[in-house]
A and B are shown apart, each in its own frame.
Chain A
Amino acid sequence: MMRDYFADLGAASRDPARKVAWCTSVGPAEILRALGFAVYFPENHGALLGATRMSSETIPVANAHGYSPEICSYLTSDVGACLKGVTPLTKAYGLEEAPRPDVLVYCTNQCKDVMHWFGWYARRWSVPLLGIHPPTHVAEVRPEHVADVVAQYRHLIVQLEAISGRKLDPAELERAVARSREATDLWEEVLNTGTARPSPLSFFDGAIYMGPIVVLRGTEIAVDYYRALLAEMQDRVAAATAAVPGERKRIYWEGMPVWGRLRHLSEVFQRNRAAVVASTYCNSWIFSDFDPRQPLPSMARAYTRIFINRDDACKEAYLLRLAGQFGIDGIVYHAARTCPNNTNSHYGMPERLRAQGLPGVVIDGDLNDLRCFSDEQSTTVIEAFVETL
């Protein structure tokens, strides 16, 4: 499925009749699909660079070109890979390089680094750079927020129509939003099988299973995939098949994955019979607001309401709710050095949640920059935390 997706992207980038759009992972992908773009997600590429640990070779290249080691390591991994002329897509999917974009579309609902990231490519390849700037870190999504974002979508659509050479078909947009909603509902059901004891899946499985909801939402392929995955998870629940045999403690993972150490961390938890049964990261692609009857307002609500774009009170209420739902014993907060926006341990949240009965511990690390991560220290912290639960 992923091979087909990348093969199609490769074909689209070679075909002058087709257009390729780059989109941030929680950007308005449905609009791009409805306009016929082949949609590529650089964050997925960033995660691949991290998981293959190619990022250790590519980040320093970007650093040497003036992109600080302190900024998003997806950005530095990806820009460094482009400068170095390498990509994990070659080995995994046979693509020589990431598909060249005809347009770059970002949304700052997650951070502003995506703007700088896409901006680098806009300058490098003289490609139009289009952005959505929603209100950030909101307590609630109010009608005026939705109106603001919808207005930005309308402006974006006009610009995209000029690039794609076709008018947006409202029915096509409705279909894309409907398919996204269906896939995201199935993904939510998959993740909710983690409420079972023992849990049939862990965060480390979820970090792999989530590929299609990121890169293929708005398509029928993603719907079919999550329908099949849900059936498999339900079978595992019925058979009491545990992701972590002998599950003793149930952990919530808050923050980004450490892509280059997924297996290591998974083994640390496994050894300690602690199952990471839920995470903010995997749940971030549940968009229950999608409504094909009002595609643009519902997209505006869905993409503005995401966890990362909310204030701390919302985030804490969300974490407490999920802790109850999944029977969580404790939270592991990943303080990702280069991703402060997706790190929630810097402003006292662990202490506040502990005071409400939800213990937590912070591990220092990063999504892609393994220079910021210590196997030994993180192992000690996790093991000692599980010991205290």
Chain B
Amino acid sequence: MIAAALDPPVAAAGPAVTTFWGVDCGSSEIKVAAVDRGGRVLLLRKQRTLFPLAGHVHRALAGGTGELSPLVDDERVPGAPVGGVPRLLPGQQIHATGYGRSHIEGIHGQLTEIKAHFLGVQHQLQLDRDYTIIDIGGQDAKVIRATPGRVDQFAINRKCAAGTGAYIEELAHRLEVPMQSLPGLAAGHDRELTLNSYCTVFSGQEVIKLLMHGERVENLIYALYRSVVKRVLEMTAISTDTLVFSGGVMNYHPILVPLFAERFGDIKTILAPNAQYCGAIGAAIHGLKEDEENGIHHHQQLRPV
């Protein structure tokens, strides 16, 4: 939890806030973004998701020595014990998203990853038409249909991990290939294979069987990427002519973008800037928007009738 004594949530609402922090507690990494009142992204940073979660969120927020932070200086000692109770500096607000969002106490607000990714994408791209966000994370994949102003509909992968980062990790492990080598190896494929199974474990078995038959690793990795595309597009029909990609998996595996694009005839594909940070940026923007709305309400109340 974050001790908010210096800057309690109620007092924080209003023009006094100078920096809005967004934390995206994902299954693999904690991402942090900070934006100023003008919506400019001041910093982005991340660390692995470790437990106890709250302590590691504080670490991610604190950053290293000399870095911008919402926390008071004495809490920002590198290697400081995890689990301390840092305090907020005046003028700072923190909003959280991601699966761990409800486990961080003392923050100013929280929102779902669906809304956070939408806000992060829309803030950065300022799109003026309906579009679809494909956000592939460590343990889930989301397809979000949005207008410039709001989330219209969404779908999340069902119970299994196929089509998510966990699926890619598992198969990389089976193939004994480091994650970062996957895109390069896939580029060396010389034929298209199909992995059929919904199930990560069964897909692993398919891969092993193909390996036993002497299949090239490059072709298997390419098949793995194509399988991710298939799993995600099974979730819901795409009804817009613009596809935007966000999330950590797209960040590390941009080869997926053309693989998605080739499944459609005439479609515009955009890899969101700071794809992995769209959730964190969106959380910060959510804070900024809420603060602006509260400010407007405040002024309206003061306006003479």
Residues of A whose CB lies within 8 Å of any CB of B are 354, 359, 361, 364, 372, 374, 376-377, 379-381, 383-384, 387-388
Asked if B156 and A380 sit within 8 Å, CB to CB, the answer is yes
Known A380-B99, A380-B112, A380-B113; contact A388-B150, beta-carbon cutoff 8 A: yes
Chain A residues with Cβ below 8 Å from B152 are 388
Asked if B153 and A376 sit within 8 Å, CB to CB, the answer is no
Q: What are 19 pairs between A and B in contact, CB < 8 Å?
A: A361-B154, A364-B158, A364-B159, A372-B159, A374-B159, A376-B99, A377-B140, A377-B156, A380-B112, A381-B156, A383-B112, A384-B113, A384-B114, A384-B154, A387-B112, A387-B151, A388-B114, A388-B151, A388-B154
Chain A residues with Cβ below 8 Å from B158 are 364
Known A364-B159, A377-B156; contact A384-B115, beta-carbon cutoff 8 A: yes
Give complex CA distance A381, B151 in Å. Answer: 13
Known A388-B150, A388-B151, A388-B153; contact A380-B159, beta-carbon cutoff 8 A: no
Asked if A387 and B159 sit within 8 Å, CB to CB, the answer is no
Please report whether the interface of chain B is mostly helix, strand, loop or mixed according to DSSP. Answer: mixed
Give complex CA distance A364, B156 in Å. Answer: 10
Which of B102, B112, B159 touches A384 (beta carbons < 8 Å)?
Answer: B112
Chain A residues with Cβ below 8 Å from B102 are 379
Instruction: Give chain B nearest CB distance to A343 CB in angstroms.
Output: 13
Chain A residues with Cβ below 8 Å from B99 are 376, 380
Nearest residue (CB) in A for B114 is A384
Chain A residues with Cβ below 8 Å from B114 are 380, 384, 387-388
Top-7 shortest CB links A-B: A384-B114, A384-B112, A383-B112, A388-B151, A387-B115, A376-B99, A364-B158
Nearest residue (CB) in B for A360 is B153
Chain B residues with Cβ below 8 Å from A359 are 153
Chain A residues with Cβ below 8 Å from B140 are 377
Annotate B121-156 by CB proximity to A: 1 below 8 A, 0 otherwise: 000000000000000000010000000001111101
Answer yes or no: B111 CB below 8 A from chain A CBs.
Answer: yes
Nearest residue (CB) in A for B140 is A377
Task: With A377-B140, A380-B156 given, name 12 new contacts (CB 8 A).
Answer: A359-B153, A364-B158, A374-B159, A377-B159, A379-B102, A384-B113, A384-B115, A387-B114, A387-B115, A387-B151, A388-B150, A388-B153
Nearest residue (CB) in B for A374 is B159
Annotate B93-115 by CB proximity to A: 1 below 8 A, 0 otherwise: 00000010010000000011111
Residues of B whose CB lies within 8 Å of any CB of A are 99, 102, 111-115, 140, 150-154, 156, 158-159
Instruction: Give chain A nearest CB distance to B192 CB in angstroms.
Output: 31
Count, A-B residue pairs, CB within 8 A: 36
Give complex CA distance A383, B110 in Å. Answer: 11
Instruction: Give chain B nearest CB distance to A335 CB in angstroms.
Output: 8
Chain B residues with Cβ below 8 Å from A379 are 102
Nearest residue (CB) in B for A335 is B158
* Residue from A361, A364, A372, A388 with most neighbouring chain B CB atoms (10 Å): A388
Nearest residue (CB) in A for B102 is A379
Instruction: Give chain B nearest CB distance to A359 CB in angstroms.
Output: 8
Nearest residue (CB) in A for B100 is A376
Give complex CA distance A12, B214 in Å. Answer: 70
Asked if A387 and B156 sit within 8 Å, CB to CB, the answer is no
Chain A residues with Cβ below 8 Å from B151 are 384, 387-388
Instruction: Give chain B nearest CB distance to A258 CB in angstroms.
Output: 14
Instruction: Give chain A nearest CB distance to B116 CB in angstroms.
Output: 10
Give complex CA distance A383, B99 in Å. Answer: 12
Give complex CA distance A298, B99 in Å. Answer: 51
Instruction: Give chain B nearest CB distance to A346 CB in angstroms.
Output: 12
Nearest residue (CB) in B for A382 is B112
Give complex CA distance A181, B102 in Å. Answer: 46
Chain B residues with Cβ below 8 Å from A361 are 154
Instruction: Give chain A nearest CB distance to B142 CB in angstroms.
Output: 9
Instruction: Give chain A nearest CB distance to B43 CB in angstroms.
Output: 26
Chain B residues with Cβ below 8 Å from A384 are 112-115, 151, 154
Nearest residue (CB) in B for A365 is B159
Give complex CA distance A379, B111 in Å. Answer: 11
Chain A residues with Cβ below 8 Å from B150 are 388
Chain A residues with Cβ below 8 Å from B154 are 361, 384, 388
Give complex CA distance A384, B114 in Å. Answer: 6
* Residue from A354, A374, A377 with most neighbouring chain B CB atoms (10 Å): A377
* Residue from A354, A359, A361, A387 with most neighbouring chain B CB atoms (10 Å): A387
Chain B residues with Cβ below 8 Å from A372 are 159
Give complex CA distance A110, B268 in Å. Answer: 47
* Residue from A361, A374, A379, A384 with most neighbouring chain B CB atoms (10 Å): A384
Give complex CA distance A383, B156 in Å. Answer: 13
Chain A residues with Cβ below 8 Å from B156 are 377, 380-381
Nearest residue (CB) in A for B236 is A351
Instruction: Give chain A nearest CB distance to B15 CB in angstroms.
Output: 26
Nearest residue (CB) in B for A383 is B112
Give complex CA distance A30, B93 in Å. Answer: 62
Instruction: Give chain A nearest CB distance to B135 CB in angstroms.
Output: 12
